[in-house]
Amino acid sequence: MQKFALFDLDNTLLIGDSDHAWGLFLASFNAVDAKQQTAAQDRFYQQYQQGTLDIHEFLDFQFTPLKENDMQQLESWRDQYIESHIKPMITQERLDLVKHHQNLEHELIIITATNSFVTRPIADLFGIEHLIATEPEQNIHGFTGKLDGIPCFQAGKIEKLNHFLSTNYSPNSNIADYESWFYSDSHNDLPLLKEVTRPVAVTPDESLRKYAIQQQWKIID
């Protein structure tokens, strides 16, 4: 039976947060208001760490630049952002971890709350085909500023993952039917960490570290 290696992205495969970095990148040349962007991101990030984040309020905020700019401009900015902000966040240690699972012929999936516009090229840098992410809605004119489907956040990661598995592998299957690894740094991922057979905490936040120690989960620092 197929085995799966699942990876959170921000502060797990990356030594940083791609969503946070994207906003600061846009603010660096005033594509968004720098003062407002920094203040809002700091507030949202604190809520994320505390487990109190209103994901829909956050996504409305994060999707605004996608809505207000055309695709050609957004893609040009994204190319610059990948070079200046993302590539420095990728370490050989993380690449080796991905390669380890590829060598074992596991099916690799990045599963992240950060939207797919930002994260698709990052998944490509790791050579990972499957990306399950929060999806910004699009029409023929570009991004609408709205959410397509559900956020890939907390329990939403399980729902989106199980839909992916039942669509692409075995009908009505879910992650509990497979041997699986999930690497994450955040207590926000506890719902999915509890579902996999081999949860791994990666430089975990305080809440996740405490829980991982109690459960005798593997911890990587």
Instruction: Give catalytic status of residue 10 as yes or no.
Output: yes
Instruction: Say if residues 133 and 152 touch (Cβ distance below 8 Å).
Output: yes
Instruction: Give catalytic status of residue 221 as yes or no.
Output: no
Q: What's the rounded Cα separation, in Å, for the pair 78 and 75?
A: 5
Instruction: Say if residues 182 and 112 touch (Cβ distance below 8 Å).
Output: no
Residue 167's identity, in one-letter code, is T
**3-state SS track over the chain:** CCCEEEECHHHHHCCCCHHHHHHHHHHHCCCCCHHHHHHHHHHHHHHHHHCCCCHHHHHHHHHHHHHHCCHHHHHHHHHHHHHHHHHHHCCHHHHHHHHHHHHCCCEEEEEEEEEHHHHHHHHHHCCCCEEEEEEEEEECCEEEEEEECCCCCCHHHHHHHHHHHHHHCCCCCCHHHCCEEEEECCHHHHHHHCCCCEEEEECCCHHHHHHHHHHCCEEEC
Q: What's the rounded Cα separation, in Å, for the pair 166 and 174?
A: 7
* Identified catalytic residue from 10, 17, 185, 189: 10
* Identified catalytic residue from 8, 19, 185, 189: 8
Kindly list the catalytic residues: 8, 10
